[in-house]
Amino acid sequence: MLPLSGIKVLDLSRVLAGPYCGMILADLGAYVVKIERPGRGDDSREFGPFVNGESAYFMSINRNKKSVTLNLKSPEGKEIFKELVKHFDVVVENFRPGTMEKLGLGYDVLKKINSRLIYAASSGFGYTGPYRERPAYDAIIQAMGGLMSITGFPGGKPTRVGASIADIATGMFCAIGVLAALVKRQVTGEGDMVDVAMLDSVVALLENAIARYEVTGELPKPLGNRHPSIFPFESFEAQDGDIIIAAGNDELWAKLCRAIGKEELANDPRFRTNQLRGQNYNEMKKILDDIIKTKTVEEWIKILEDAGVPCSPINTIDRVVQHPQVLARDMIVKVRHAVAGEIKMPGCPIKFASENPKIGPAPILAEHTEEVLKEFLGIGDEELARLKASGVI
């Protein structure tokens, strides 16, 4: 029995932030029904790459869900949705604020139908503030939130983080909000609204960038693969490629010095503490650069791992999906999709001592419409046929 077994979710969201939240809840055992537009479905069903006409992008973030098509712009579609809300615990949506209200399906309406409902809304800028009605995409938020300004190499152009981190972080925070609201509901018996903004989520990820600016007044800038406060904690060029070395404290610095055959550097007055290494960074970096260039990445990995110094090659994705630790943790899983056949995707990173999440396939568009409407609303075959013919489902 997974932690969210018995929790039922209506997922109206599209593309990434909202669907990622719904995927987390589904992985943890929730019964998640994805409400999609008849005929087209989620926009991401049209994003490549495709396998037998099915989007691998969509499949990777909508697994373990059921697909129901429902036209929320039609009066009958709205009434069906309201009836479903009576039977569900959570609604997830990522429309622009005001959209659900225009449909007559905002939180104020739905909580009167089901006072225990958790309404989780993720959007670019949240439900308050002067930007609340602006559209947003990941790159826009990475730029506006300052993340791009500290990403990249010194002197280079501001750089977008390689993954859609603004969307993904928003999905994670939204899932956390849902879990917190469910715990609160156990005490109060009442539901709540969770309001998570992409911009807020990126600002929350800035960790020491804002702290450094507020304390020092200095504007954080891109540092490449360097850490701004820990030394050495970055990439170095070996004979045949780059290696990451992370000496996160003075003890690890001493181990690194012994491993590279320069034990005297551990007590060198220029480098004895992390603060001193930061003050004398250029000197330290040149010494390490000259030494690391003398061996291959594989040779250094063996030496440093034996010495207990955190290190890693910079793996490409083909190496990640075959990495023994990744595979041992079931982080690359095989899923059999009804149309696409067997595909691989990332597993769930949350593990339990009792039972780990099971990863099932993403649904075909409208695959479960009849099943869900029959089970929860008792709609018969004749009525389902009429609703389908009229474009309601």
Supply the pLDDT for residue 288: 98
Give the distance, in angstroms, between the CA of residue 258 and the centroid of all CA atoms in the same chain.
39
Q: Is residue 218 part of a domain?
A: no
- How much of the chain is helix, strand and coil, in % rounded to 5? 40, 15, 45
Q: Are strands 31-36 and 65-69 parallel, antiparallel or unpaired?
A: parallel
Supply the pLDDT for residue 239: 98
Token code pair at residue 338 = 């009804």
Residues 270 and 295 in one domain: yes
Give the distance, in angstroms, between the CA of residue 185 and the centroid of all CA atoms in the same chain.
25
Supply the pLDDT for residue 201: 98
Residues 179 and 267 in one domain: no
Residues 177 and 131 in one domain: yes
Mean pLDDT computed over 192-202: 98
Identify the band that residue 7 occupies on the pLDDT scale cut at 50, 70 and 90.
Answer: very high
- DSSP assignment of 297-342 equals HHHHHHHHHHHT--EEE---HHHHTT-HHHHHTT-EEEEEETTTEE
Per-residue pLDDT of 24-67, as tens digits, reads 999 999 999 999 999 999 999 999 999 999 999 999 999 999 99
Residues comprising the chain, all counted: 393
Residues 95 and 242 in one domain: no
Per-residue pLDDT of 81-118, as tens digits, reads 999 999 999 999 999 999 999 999 999 999 999 999 99
Cite the active site residues.
227
3-class secondary structure, 61: helix
- DSSP element (H, E) containing 370: helix 369-377
Residues 32 and 173 in one domain: yes
Q: Which residues of 133-162 are buried (b: 16+ CB within 10 A; e: fewer)?
A: eeebebeebbbbbbbbbbbbeeeeeeebbe
Supply the pLDDT for residue 315: 97
Q: Number of folded domains in the chain?
A: 2
Mean pLDDT computed over 231-240: 98
Per-residue pLDDT of 316-348, as tens digits, reads 999 999 999 999 999 999 999 999 999 999 999
Reply yes or no on whether the pLDDT at 207 is more than 90.
no
Residues 260 and 360 in one domain: no
Domain region containing 307: 233-313
**% of the chain surpassing 90 pLDDT:** 99
Residues 122 and 195 in one domain: yes
- Long-range pairs for 257-261: beta carbons < 8 A, 24 or more residues apart: 258/307, 259/303, 259/304, 259/306, 259/307, 259/309, 260/288, 260/291, 260/292, 260/303, 261/291
Mean pLDDT computed over 292-317: 98
Q: Is the pTM of this model over 0.75?
A: yes
Residues 240 and 351 in one domain: no
What is the average pLDDT value for the chain, to the nearest integer? 97
Residues 290 and 366 in one domain: no
Assess contact for 341 and 52: CB atoms under 8 A. Answer: yes
Q: Is residue 160 part of a domain?
A: yes
Q: Is residue 217 part of a domain?
A: no
Residues 41 and 142 in one domain: yes
Mean pLDDT computed over 266-293: 97
Q: Is residue 135 part of a domain?
A: yes
Supply the pLDDT for residue 1: 87
Supply the pLDDT for residue 62: 98
